Amino acid sequence: MKEINISIDQSSFPSQYVSDSKKNTKEFGLQIGQAIQYEWFKKDNGGSKFYNQWDSFHKLRLYARAEQSVGKYKNELAVDGDLSYMNLDWTPVPIIPKFIDIVVNGMADRLFEVKAYAQDAMSAEKRNQYQDTIEEDMISKDLLSQVKNDFGIDAFNTDPENLPANDEELQLHMQLNYKSSIELAEEAVINTVLSENKYDDVRKRIIYDITTVGVGCAKHEYLPGTGIVTKYVDPANVVYSYTEDPNFNDCFYWGEVKTTHISELLKIDPTLTDKDLEHISKSSSDWHNYFNSTQFYDNSLFNNDTVTLLHYNYKTTKKFVYKKKGEKVIEKEDTFNPPAEMMEERGFEKVEKVIDVWYEGVMVMGTNIILKWQLAENMVRPKSASQNAMANYVACAPRMYKGNIESLLRRMVPFADLIQMTHLKLQQVIQKVVPDGVFIDADGLNEVDLGNGASYNPEDALRLYFQTGSVVGRSYTQDGEFNNARVPIQELAKNSGQGKISSLVNSYNHYLQMLRDVTGLNEARDGSMPDPDSLVGLQKLAALNSNTATRHILDASLDITRDLATALTCRVSDALEYHPHKEEFVMQIGKYNVNLLKEISDLHIYDFGVFIEMAPDDEQKQMLEQNIQMALSKGSIDLDDAIDIREVKNVKLANQLLKVKRKRKEKERQQFEMQKIQQQQQAQMQSQQMAAQVSAQKLQMETQSEMQIAQAKAGFDIERMRGEAAIKSELMQLEFQLNMQLKGVESEALKSREDLKEKAKSDRISKQNSQQSKLIDQRKKDLPPINFESNEDTLDGFDLAEFEPR
């Protein structure tokens, strides 16, 4: 091994364009370690970047515990460095720990769930198929319901009672109710790994660090004998490349300074000899002395048999070169570069791919000794971006600017110092306060004669004064002159310092209020007595504003949790695909749910996105509960709906579910009202039909009664008519006979008349013929006119005398 060479000489990072074989050498790794060492440990004005930051974090943590140094306060109150006349309690006032505990404990109690979203093509296809199935049921709901009612066949793929009514409800249904088995398996894996590593305790320490020093850090790795490990990392011991990203995503190296017992080095490099360990031990002592590192740990035994190591990861690129001939691919060194003529002649081609990789190394600080340098195993490489590799360290500094980290505690320090000084000044004033005394005029006492021969001395006077409050004195002396000391005892009213005490108390309260103002931790949150004149709503609004002021701390801790969970999904995927004991790993994770064993075994073929779902805070719960109670009071939802809504952790989704439930309930209520109206109409129709039937039956009975009466009347009428008919028949018969007789007479008369007419007619015709003959004879013989008039009163034998009145 090379000689030990303690130095922090200027060093730069090696070139990225060297071959992979060069990157694999320890010389390359040592150059990187020395470059990191130079950046963080070079002395500048007696200090270094690492130990200056370590000291700054250490002082902040002491403030967070109310254990800060009181030297600055003593220097303020000392006169030329002399404190011999002061007897004060220098213990710091524990104001800051109260605020820190409020923030940390309040955020540590916030519940959250790690949600996995399968984003690979296979899972997306399953999700689309499920959505298509729901949509088919939505479109065919009426037809399928009729089939079920008519034939008793349930053709629904989902429960028709919970079937979405429109696209909005469908989207909400997919967010709330759809969860593939592979996503459940992934969430079970993440929660199991975090639980086995006691991540709840790690998260509390991370929140504490973000609140006090402004940055939180964690680490994930895969240990062959242990499995997947997540652990807390002290930010004071971490080194990293310059970044302005609060999530440190663009860092190309990470490191952690660890002080390890020298016997642990053999676990890192078993080839070390006793001589090597002796050299390393000497170099560590020199390192401790060089930086006087014992002062940072308050332990005089710190540098005994210990060594300071730098564990670092470095991000670079690696070129993978393959020789491809037909379907056969052979991996080659990155120096493989055959001529184009050779490749064309032999019928093969060169295929190469460049990806990001991480190297890991361990170096003894202050030396040229490197214990480990190799390509990192089990690198975290997301499937969605295979060229990218995630670092083992996860960190977040929510208030970073130009590499400088700001914390909530750092804002409190100036006012905490003023509060402490005010507290010490208050002690000084209180110590200097003396009780009120009395003035005794001895000459005045000598002139007092009690008259009984008893002596009256100052002791008796004081006893009388303090027991009774009375004073015996004389206005004139024994010589009869005016006694100027006629009141021998007078009370001395001293300055009690009340004004100074009140002023200091006001100053104390002012600085305390300033502490609240700069942090946002108001009385509504820090447990102080609230203003009795403030309304409850205003107090809750103040508490909400206080939560908003420290929300960045909670978000930072959740970002670390999300990045850790994302890294765990990749690590679990690799372990299930490549680990030789993956069956044992599957059984260890799946012991909580046997049904997920198969899905856990297949996790490595899926790709997941991870997000954090926060449980609602008190204010959000209250607002949601108000909406639920208002909906319950109006009957818009029922108790079962309220229970379902309260179980939704996402407030936004809970409110959307509330709106969907209200709309569905309103629709059901309208349908119920319509059914009720229809039932009422049917009942009215039935009652009307019943009334009509009763009326018809009554009418029928009345009709039957009337018919029976009518029939009886008809019977009587028939009998009467029969009697009348018989009488009429006899009368008609008599009339007929009379008529027949009349007819016979008339017939005889007519007959005789006709006979007369015929006879007269015959006579007339005969006479006409005779006259015609005469006329013919006249024309022939040219005779004179013939007069045919007759002197008879009859015409054609018809006697006109018949028409004469009788």
pLDDT digits (tens, 9 = 90+) for 356-365: 889 999 998 8
Distance, in Å, from the CA atom of 780 to the CA atom of 761, rounded to the nearest integer, reads: 28
Model confidence at 251, in pLDDT bands (50, 70, 90)?
very high
Cα 139 from chain centroid (whole Å): 31
SS3 (DSSP) at 353: strand
Distance, in Å, from the CA atom of 638 to the CA atom of 279, rounded to the nearest integer, reads: 78
Mean pLDDT, residues 333-345 taken together: 77
Model confidence at 2, in pLDDT bands (50, 70, 90)?
very low
DSSP letter string, 512-557: HHHHHHHHT--HHHHTPPPPTTS-HHHHHHHHHHHHHHTHHHHHHH
pLDDT cut 90: percent of the chain above it: 15
Mean pLDDT, residues 253-259 taken together: 91
State the residue for tokens 């008609």: 732
On the question of pLDDT at 683 being above 80, the answer is yes
Model confidence at 206, in pLDDT bands (50, 70, 90)?
very high
Model confidence at 75, in pLDDT bands (50, 70, 90)?
confident
On the question of pLDDT at 58 being above 80, the answer is yes
On the question of pLDDT at 494 being above 80, the answer is no
125-140: pLDDT as tens digits: 777 777 778 777 777 8
Looking at residue 410, what is its pLDDT?
Answer: 93
Looking at residue 537, what is its pLDDT?
Answer: 47
For 295-342, strand residue ranges (E) read 306-325, 328-332
533-570: pLDDT as tens digits: 544 444 454 445 456 778 888 889 989 988 888 888 87
Mean pLDDT, residues 150-166 taken together: 75
On the question of pLDDT at 27 being above 70, the answer is yes
Mean pLDDT, residues 761-787 taken together: 79
Mean pLDDT, residues 267-284 taken together: 83
Give the range among 57-71, 162-176, 228-242 with minimum mean pLDDT: 162-176
Q: What's the whole-model pTM score?
A: 0.71
On the question of pLDDT at 597 being above 60, the answer is no
Give the range among 34-43, 225-234, 395-404 with minimum mean pLDDT: 225-234
pLDDT cut 70: percent of the chain above it: 81
Model confidence at 232, in pLDDT bands (50, 70, 90)?
very high
On the question of pLDDT at 6 being above 60, the answer is no
Model confidence at 420, in pLDDT bands (50, 70, 90)?
very high
Highest mean pLDDT among 133-147, 240-254, 489-503, 605-619: 240-254
Looking at residue 517, what is its pLDDT?
Answer: 86
Looking at residue 538, what is its pLDDT?
Answer: 42
| Phi, psi for 430 (deg, rounded to 5) | -65, -35
Q: Could you tell me the sign of the dihedral formed by the alpha carbons of 482, 485, 490, 495, in that order?
A: positive
Model confidence at 584, in pLDDT bands (50, 70, 90)?
low
Per residue, what are the HEC states of 666-714?
A: HHHHHHHHHHHHHHHHHHHHHHHHHHHHHHHHHHHHHHHHHHHHHHHHH
On the question of pLDDT at 51 being above 80, the answer is yes
Mean pLDDT, residues 221-237 taken together: 85
- Kindly list the domain boundaries of the chain, sorted by start residue: 119-179, 254-274+300-390, 670-774
Looking at residue 48, what is its pLDDT?
Answer: 82
SS3 (DSSP) at 381: coil
Looking at residue 234, what is its pLDDT?
Answer: 93
Model confidence at 349, in pLDDT bands (50, 70, 90)?
confident
On the question of pLDDT at 594 being above 50, the answer is no
Quick one: tokens of 547?
A: 């939560």
Q: What does the mean pLDDT of the chain come to?
A: 78
On the question of pLDDT at 32 being above 90, the answer is yes
Looking at residue 4, what is its pLDDT?
Answer: 42
| Phi, psi for 115 (deg, rounded to 5) | -110, 135
Distance, in Å, from the CA atom of 654 to the CA atom of 637, rounded to the nearest integer, reads: 13
